[in-house]
Structure formats: structure tokens, C-alpha cells
Homo-oligomer: A and B are copies of this chain.
Amino acid sequence: MLEALLRLPPGPVDLTALDPAATPGLDGGGKTEGKAALAALGDPLADLQERLFAEGRADVGHGRAVLLVLQGMDTSGKGGVLRHTVGLVDPQGVRITSFKAPTDEEREHDFLWRVRRALPEQGYLGVFDRSHYEDVLIARVRALAPVEEIEQRYDEINAFEAEVLGAGTTIVKCMLHISADAQRERLQARLDKPEKHWKFNPGDIDERARWSEYRQAYEIALERTNTEVAPWHVIPSDRKWYRNLAVGTILHDTLARMAPQWPLADFDVEEQKRRLREEVPVR
């Protein structure tokens, strides 16, 4: 239900019309209820993820995997989602990739090259902290590639994601939507606390001056890549607890729909029990 509320409808996107401080689907519940709800989500989410992992290990899941794509402005909370939401499941089944500015080697290839290499194997929950969307976001705002090339990338992304889905990986795309005011407060907090200085970069303020350009780049990207097979969710993220809960719920509901099952034994269980019972003493 919450997932349906946050799923971006097809058509033009106006982020200014979406309140980053809203808490859709929570019927007036606040921070306390939200944190309790996230904690309560832990076990069911971990159970579903373990079943998916088990399917992958047993090679009975038809190659299924999940890829969570996290995008959002600086300070929108990608790291917080990793810690508080992704941190709820067994790290053994999780593969996180943080995409930074491309390296020289990466630059020599197509923009999707490094992304393909980071796709989750069967059974895994892959998480992209930033992603191929940077190549139509900062790349557009900062003109890091010719306009015609960027224009082509939206279609390339859609084709790529359809191919990934075809290979069995369900893609969950979440745009963490914060207000410019919330970002200022968070940057301020990073400046105020010495143990947060490492998270701050003076360039963050330069990028911030282009807030509306980034917003427009997001609006274009969201509209053009909001496909049936890999739709976008816009997560109101001014409230951290809501953001963590919302992403967790979407992840949970996605896994629940996939309904991964404990693999059936591909061996005779009774025979193996007998072997173990009758074995020569081992020491």
C-alpha cells in the first residue's frame, strides 16, 4: 500500500509538487511508531532475503536477484538507508556498490560497463549507492558528455534495465527526495560536528547552488526511465525515520511478491540421515 503511494505515476514529473516532509501511508503515526515499524520489519525482511539467498545457492531461483538503486541529492540519506534498512538483513547476502566519479579505466568504456560488472549474482540483494543515473544527472548538469549522448542514455538505461529484469533481477528504484532546507540543515550539522567533517566537501555547496538544475535533471530522468518493468519510487526523505521505513517496506513487499521458497532437497533426506547415523566414527 505504502509502495503504491510512493510509486511515481507515469507522465511528467514535478518534484516541487511532492512534499519531502510528508509521511504517506502512516495515518498520522510519528517517529516513535515509524522506528518501531522498521524494527518490526527486520525479521520478516531478513527471512525473505534469506529465502532468496537460499534459492540462489541451491540454483533453483531461476537466477532471481534484487537490485535496489538509491539516488538522491547530497545528504538525502543513501548512507542512512544502507545502515538502517539494508543493515536489517544478513550481510552475507548483500552486495553494495558505491559509485563514485568514474575512474580512468571506467571512462574508457560505455557508461553502463561498470554497472554491468556490479550487478548482483543470483540470490543476492544488490544495492547501488548512486548508479548509472549519475550519467544523466550530474552528467547533464555539469555537461560531462555531449547533449546528444546524454539524450540517448535514457533509452539505453531503459533497454539495459529491461535486459537485467529479463535475466531475473527485480529492480527497485528509489529516489530519496529532500528539500533544499533539509539539505542546508544537514550540511550545517556536518560542519558543526568535527566527526562529520569527512562527509563534507566544499563542492557540496557549489552543487547546491545548482539545486534547480539538479531538480530538473531528476525530473527528466524520472519521467523518461519510469518504466513499467522498473518504475521509480519517490521517497519523502526530510524525515529520516520515514525514509528508512519506506525503503524497507518497498523492499519487503517486493520480496514478498517474488515469494522465494526454501529450496526442496535435491537428495534423499532419509538416506543422508542414515549415512550420518551409520558412519564410521569420525575424529
Counting chain A residues whose Cβ lies within 8 A of the other chain, the interface size class is: 35 or more
Bound Cα distance from A263 to B195, whole angstroms:
8
Q: Which of B209, B267, B273 contacts A279 (CB 8 A)?
A: B209
- The answer for the CA separation of A133 and B283 in the assembled complex, in Å, is 22
Q: How far is the CB of A167 from chain B (nearest CB, A)?
A: 18
- A 268-283 binary contact with B (CB < 8 Å = 1; else 0): 0100110110011011
B267 touches A200 (CB 8 A): yes
Most buried by B among A91, A180, A191: A91
A164-183 to B contact mask, C-beta < 8 Å, 1/0: 00000000000000001001
Please name the residue on chain B nearest to A266 by beta carbon.
B197
Return chain B residues, CB-CB under 8 Å to A267.
200-202
Q: Contact at A58–B209, with CB atoms within 8 Å?
A: no
A146 at the binding interface (Cβ < 8 Å): no
Tell me if A91 and B92 are in contact (CB < 8 A): no
**Which residues of the partner chain B approach A200 to less than 8 Å between Cβ atoms?**
265, 267, 272
Q: How far in angstroms is the closest Cβ of chain B from A248?
A: 14
Stretch in contact with the other chain, from A28-36, A82-90, A232-240, A251-259? A82-90
Q: Which residues of chain A from 175 to 207 have any CB-CB distance to chain B below 8 Å in the complex?
A: 180, 183-184, 187-188, 191, 194-195, 197-202, 205
- Are B92 and A94 in contact (CB-based, < 8 A)? no
**A115 beta carbon closer than 8 Å to chain B:** no
For A82, the chain B residues whose CB sits under 8 A away are 90-92
User: Across the interface, do A191 and B54 meet the contact criterion of CB distance under 8 Å?
Assistant: no
Neighbouring B residues of A55 by C-beta, 8 Å: 198
Q: Is A264 an interface residue (CB 8 A)?
A: yes
CA distance A212 to B282 in the complex (A): 8
A212 contacts B283, C-beta separation under 8 Å = yes
* Residue A12 CB within 8 A of the other chain: no
Query: Residues of B contacting A54 with CB < 8 Å?
Result: 195, 198-199
A161 at the interface (CB under 8 A from B): no
**A262 and B198 within 8 A (CB):** yes
Residues of A within 8 A of B (CB): 54-55, 57-58, 79, 82-83, 86-87, 90-92, 94-96, 98, 129, 180, 183-184, 187-188, 191, 194-195, 197-202, 205, 208-209, 211-212, 262-265, 267, 269, 272-273, 275-276, 279-280, 282-283
Q: Which 6 A-B pairs have the closest CB atoms?
A: A197-B265, A54-B198, A180-B282, A198-B263, A82-B92, A195-B262
